[in-house]
Amino acid sequence: GSFMVVNASGRASGQKAHLYMPTLKENDTHCIDFLYSLSSRDGASPGTLNVYIKVNGGAQGNPVWNASDTVTEGWVKAELAISTFWPNSYQVIFEAVSVQGHPGFIAVDDIRVLAHPCRKAPHFLRLQNVEVNVGQNATFQCTAGGKWSQHDKLWLQVGVFVQGRVFLQNHVCNHQNGQRRFSSLADLRCRSPPTPIAPPELLAVGATYLWIKPNANSIIGDGPIILKEVEYRTTSGNWAETHVVDAPTYKLWHLDPDVEYEIKVLLSRPGEGGTGPPGPPLVTRTKCAGECGFLKVFNLVSFLLGWRWGAEFSLQSSVLEWNRLNPASCLVDGSFEANRGRTCLGIPLQSCLSPGC
């Protein structure tokens, strides 16, 4: 009958010829067997015969089977134990690679797809997909059934594909027995821990509390979100506290009056290393308590205006305007005692005769 053959005579080293099988969707462990032949007049190998498995239209990857070392005596049967499951598809590719100065022939024949496991080659049980967070280690459990030898080897073949934000790695768990290699396929999905896009929203503020909304619906990274936390600290300090948030809004209690705070939100997804970096900060200040909102007027050599809001300072001018406020316009006849109890732009005025009042 007919067969496919490559004449390696007169070829440069590394020249390749490919035979592509149709795309297959066999939904279980099954077997592909074929005959191959490497022949030459001088007994030297004419090149290499490789077999690739391309999964779901992805990259060709590394060979799952090859033969190159010796010339065969006639036709030799080889088996590929394939374990794929719906909806995955795959394509088998035969590749002949020539070696310069080594005339001869590389041929394949009788390629068959069988609906049962191979008779000689061990087959692999279903290799489960694995999902991990970026920066973490992944573990695959590879189990083979059938005839096994202590000289057999297992290794993992990796091909990387990018689909949006998900990094897919097709892992092939290979078994080597003589010149036969067999594969089972699975995906490694690397997820990015989530981070909020927007800072928390301030809903209400008091002297000892801040009421916020975490704003965790819009994120960078991958879900699902299983934990929300609020991290806050004073902008002038180096300590920080973290609280778990289990409601749409959250109230931070027991804060100090008239102090500036920085508030961030932390989000976590399932798995080790699933907590993302903090989102953008909300910087806000608690309200004053007591007299921290009074405006004091001092009778010095000329008008002296002091604004006490957390810390006291003063500005001096014979006719002073500061922040659109002319202190002279807030006084009656220039008399300080006459202004006791009055307000200036809604701010209570106090009068005294020394800057220490």
Write down the CATH number for the domain with range 4-191: 2.60.120.200
Considering 56-65, 70-79, 113-122, 214-223, the range whose residues carry the highest mean pLDDT is: 214-223
Domain ranges of the chain: 4-191, 195-285, 295-352
> Which class for 221: exposed (0-12), middle (13-18), buried (19 or more C-beta within 10 A)?
buried
3-state DSSP assignment of residue 198? coil
Confidence of residue 250 (pLDDT cuts 50, 70, 90): very high
For residue 319, the Cα-to-chain-centroid distance in whole angstroms is 62
Per the document, the length of the chain is: 357
With the CA atoms of 200, 206, 209 and 210 taken in that order, what torsion angle do they form, in degrees rounded to the nearest 10?
Answer: 0
What six digits make up the tokens of 355? 């800057």
pTM over 0.75: no
Considering 38-42, 121-125, 295-299, 343-347, the range whose residues carry the highest mean pLDDT is: 38-42
**Topology of domain 195-285, CATH:** Immunoglobulin-like (2.60.40)
Look at residue 178 in the predicted model and tell me its pLDDT: 42
* Percent of the chain residues topping a pLDDT of 70: 66
